[in-house]
Structure 1
Amino acid sequence: MKRRDASRYARWSALLAFTLAAITGGIYVQRLWVAHREKQNAPAPLPQNEEKQFTTLHFKKVEGDRTIFDLEASKSTDLRGEDISLLEDVKIRVFGKNGDRNDVIHTQSCRYAKTDGSIQCDGQVQFDLESAEDAARTAANAAVKPNIIHIDTTGVTFERATGQAQTVKPVKFSFPSGSGDGVGAVYHSEQGQLRLIRDVHIQLQPAPDTSAKKGTTLSAPVEMSGSSLEIDKVGHTVDLLGPATAVTSGQQVTAGEFTLLMGAEFRAQTLIAAPGSLNQQPQVKNHGAKGDSTLHADKMTAHLSPQGWTSRMIAEGKVQGTSPTGNLQADSGDMEMWPVVNQAKLLTLHGNVHVDGRDAKTGTTRSLASNAVQLTFAGGRAGVANRVTHAETLERGAMEWLDAGGIRSKLAGDKLALDFSAQGKPQLLSATGAVQSQREIPGHPTQTATSATGVAQLSAAGDWSQITLRGNVKLQEAERNAEAQQAVFARAAQTTVLTGQAMVRDAGSETHAPKITFFQATGDIEAEGPVRSTDFASKSTSLQMSPVPANLSADHMRANSKTGRAVYTGHARLWQGASVLESETIELLRPTRILNATGNVRAVFPQAPQPGAAPGSAPVWHISSGLLTYWDAEDRAHLEKNVFVQSADQKMRSPQLELFFTRTGADKQGSGGSSQISRAVGTGGVVVEQGDRRGTAEHGLYTAADEKFVLTGGTPTLFDPVEGTTTGRELTFYRADDTIVVDSGNGLRTLTKHRVQK
Structure 2
Amino acid sequence: MRGTRGLLLLAIAAILGGLAATYYHQRKTQALRTPSLPRPLAHDVEADATDWHWSRNSGGHPGVELRARHFRHFHDPERVELDDIELRLYHQDGRKFDLVRCAHAVFDPARAMLSSAGEAEILMGVRSEGAQGRLLHIRASGVTFDSAGGRVSTEQPARFVFDQGEGSAVGASYDPASGELIMQSEAELIWRGRSPRSRPMKLQAGRLVYREKEALVALSPWSRLIRGGLYLEAADAIVRLQQAAIREVEANRARGQDQEADRKLEYSADKLWMLFRPQGELENLKAEGNARVVSQSESGSLSANAERLELEFDVRGTSSVLAAASAVGRVTLVSEPLARPGAFRPETRRLESDFVQLYMRVGGREIERVETASPGRLEFLPNRPDQRRRLLEAERLWIYYGQANRLRSLRAVKAKTRTEAPASAARGAKASPVETESRDLIAEFDPQSGELVRLEQWNDFHYREGAREGRAERAVLEEAARRILMEKSARVWDESSAVSADGLVLDQQSGDVVAKGRVASSHRPERRPSSAVLSAEQSVEAQADNLRTSDRRQKLFYEGHVVMWQGTNRLQAHQVEIDRRARRLTALGEVRTQVIQQPKEDSRPGRAGVFVFVEAPRLVYSEQERLAHYTGGVRLRRGNLQIEAAELQAWLQESGSGAYLDRAVARGAVRVLEVQPAGTRRASAEQAEYYPAEERIILHGGNPVLADSRRGEIRGVRLHWSMREDSWQVEGSGGQPALGRVRRP
Q: Aligning the two structures, in what range does the TM-score lie when normalised by the shorter sequence? A: 0.7 to 0.9
Structure 2 letter corresponding to 1:726: R
Contact 1:283 1:296 in 2 (8 A): yes
- Deviation for aligned residue 1:467: 1.1
2:365 aligns with one of 386, 393, 403: 386
Does 2:479 align with 1:474? no
2:556 aligns with one of 543, 566, 578: 566
Structure 2 letter corresponding to 1:436: K
Does 2:77 align with 1:77? no
- Counterpart in the other structure of 1:278: none
2:307 aligns with one of 325, 331, 349: 331
Identify if the C-alpha distance between structure 1 residues 674 and 34 changes in structure 2 by more than 3 Å, giving closer, same or farther. Answer: farther
- Structure number with the higher strand fraction is 2
Contact 2:619 2:628 in 1 (8 A): no
2:418 aligns with one of 438, 443, 448: 438
Matches of 1:679 and 1:235, distance apart in 2: 110
Residues 197-254 of structure 1, C-alpha deviations (whole Å, 9 max, x = no match)? 344333222333xxxxxxxx93422234344422222332213347643333333223
- Counterpart in the other structure of 2:9: none
- Deviation for aligned residue 1:118: 3.1
Contact 1:312 1:334 in 2 (8 A): yes
Does 2:173 align with 1:179? no
Instruction: Classify the secondary structure of the residue corresponding to 2:35.
Output: helix
Work out the percentage of aligned pairs sharing the same amino acid.
20
- Counterpart in the other structure of 1:56: 53
Matches of 1:580 and 1:454, distance apart in 2: 42
CA RMSD of aligned residues (A): 4.0
Instruction: Classify the secondary structure of the residue corresponding to 1:39.
Output: coil
Matches of 2:667 and 2:40, distance apart in 1: 159
- Counterpart in the other structure of 1:87: 82
Matches of 1:496 and 1:199, distance apart in 2: 68
Q: How does 1:260-409 map to 2 (within 5 A)?
A: 260-263=239-242, 265-275=243-253, 281-289=254-262, 292-322=264-294, 323=296, 324-339=300-315, 341-359=319-337, 360=339, 361-379=344-362, 384=363, 386-403=365-382, 404=384, 405=386, 407-409=388-390
1:231 aligns with one of 191, 205, 210: 210
Contact 2:141 2:154 in 1 (8 A): yes
Residues 514-558 of structure 1, C-alpha deviations (whole Å, 9 max, x = no match)? 111111222222211231223468966997569765431222212
1:418 aligns with one of 390, 399, 409: 399
Matches of 1:598 and 1:613, distance apart in 2: 39
Query: How does the TM-score come out when normalised to structure 2?
Result: 0.80
- Counterpart in the other structure of 1:621: 613
- Deviation for aligned residue 1:445: 1.5
Contact 1:69 1:189 in 2 (8 A): no
Residues 49-93 of structure 1, C-alpha deviations (whole Å, 9 max, x = no match)? 643146433569x9xx99998564456421365422123534252
Give the number of equivalent residue pairs.
Answer: 677
- Deviation for aligned residue 1:709: 0.8
Residues 237-290 of structure 1, C-alpha deviations (whole Å, 9 max, x = no match)? 213347643333333223334321122x33211012323xxxxx422242442x
Contact 1:68 1:190 in 2 (8 A): no
Matches of 1:557 and 1:34, distance apart in 2: 145
- Deviation for aligned residue 1:420: 2.0
Contact 2:497 2:522 in 1 (8 A): yes
Contact 2:63 2:94 in 1 (8 A): no
Instruction: Classify the secondary structure of the residue corresponding to 1:339.
Output: strand
Identify if the C-alpha distance between structure 1 residues 45 and 90 changes in structure 2 by more than 3 Å, giving closer, same or farther. Answer: farther
Contact 1:147 1:266 in 2 (8 A): no
Contact 1:602 1:624 in 2 (8 A): yes
- Counterpart in the other structure of 2:13: none
Gaps of 5+ in 1: 1-32, 209-216, 276-280, 667-672
1:612 aligns with one of 604, 609, 621: 604
- Deviation for aligned residue 1:630: 5.3
Residues 610-668 of structure 1, C-alpha deviations (whole Å, 9 max, x = no match)? 6537554624423324123153x8765343444432334321324341231343xx2xx
Q: How does 1:440-519 map to 2 (within 5 A)?
A: 440-441=420-421, 443-459=430-446, 460-519=448-507
- Deviation for aligned residue 1:440: 1.7
1:660 aligns with one of 652, 661, 680: 652
The 10-residue stretch of structure 1 (680-689 or 563-572) with the greater mean CA deviation from structure 2: 680-689
Matches of 1:224 and 1:179, distance apart in 2: 10
Identify if the C-alpha distance between structure 1 residues 554 and 125 changes in structure 2 by more than 3 Å, giving closer, same or farther. Answer: same
Does 2:417 align with 1:429? no
Contact 1:369 1:397 in 2 (8 A): yes
Matches of 1:67 and 1:179, distance apart in 2: 32
Contact 2:257 2:264 in 1 (8 A): no
- Deviation for aligned residue 1:464: 2.1
Gaps of 5+ in 2: 1-28, 423-429, 675-679
- Counterpart in the other structure of 2:508: 520
Matches of 2:681 and 2:707, distance apart in 1: 6
Query: How does the TM-score come out when normalised to structure 1?
Result: 0.79
Instruction: Classify the secondary structure of the residue corresponding to 1:298.
Output: strand
Contact 1:456 1:466 in 2 (8 A): yes
Instruction: Classify the secondary structure of the residue corresponding to 2:489.
Output: strand
Structure 1 letter corresponding to 2:230: Q
Matches of 2:621 and 2:699, distance apart in 1: 24
Contact 2:596 2:609 in 1 (8 A): no
- Deviation for aligned residue 1:188: 4.8
- Counterpart in the other structure of 2:23: none
Matches of 2:213 and 2:646, distance apart in 1: 114
Instruction: Classify the secondary structure of the residue corresponding to 1:342.
Output: strand
- Counterpart in the other structure of 1:6: none
Matches of 1:519 and 1:618, distance apart in 2: 42
Matches of 1:203 and 1:358, distance apart in 2: 37
Contact 1:636 1:661 in 2 (8 A): no
Does 2:510 align with 1:531? no
Matches of 1:594 and 1:38, distance apart in 2: 152
- Counterpart in the other structure of 1:603: 593
- Counterpart in the other structure of 1:107: 101
Matches of 2:665 and 2:459, distance apart in 1: 54
Contact 2:410 2:442 in 1 (8 A): yes
Instruction: Classify the secondary structure of the residue corresponding to 2:485.
Output: strand
- Counterpart in the other structure of 2:201: 222
Structure 1 letter corresponding to 2:98: V
Matches of 2:158 and 2:274, distance apart in 1: 27
Matches of 1:521 and 1:124, distance apart in 2: 86
- Counterpart in the other structure of 1:20: none
Instruction: Classify the secondary structure of the residue corresponding to 1:395.
Output: coil
The 10-residue stretch of structure 1 (608-617 or 76-85) with the greater mean CA deviation from structure 2: 608-617
Matches of 1:617 and 1:228, distance apart in 2: 105
The 10-residue stretch of structure 1 (266-275 or 484-493) with the greater mean CA deviation from structure 2: 266-275
Matches of 2:203 and 2:554, distance apart in 1: 73
Identify if the C-alpha distance between structure 1 residues 757 and 170 changes in structure 2 by more than 3 Å, giving closer, same or farther. Answer: farther
Structure 2 letter corresponding to 1:87: L
Instruction: Classify the secondary structure of the residue corresponding to 1:709.
Output: strand
- Counterpart in the other structure of 2:689: 701
- Counterpart in the other structure of 2:573: 583
Matches of 2:500 and 2:113, distance apart in 1: 100
Identify if the C-alpha distance between structure 1 residues 254 and 38 changes in structure 2 by more than 3 Å, giving closer, same or farther. Answer: farther
Contact 1:696 1:717 in 2 (8 A): yes
The 10-residue stretch of structure 1 (508-517 or 541-550) with the greater mean CA deviation from structure 2: 541-550
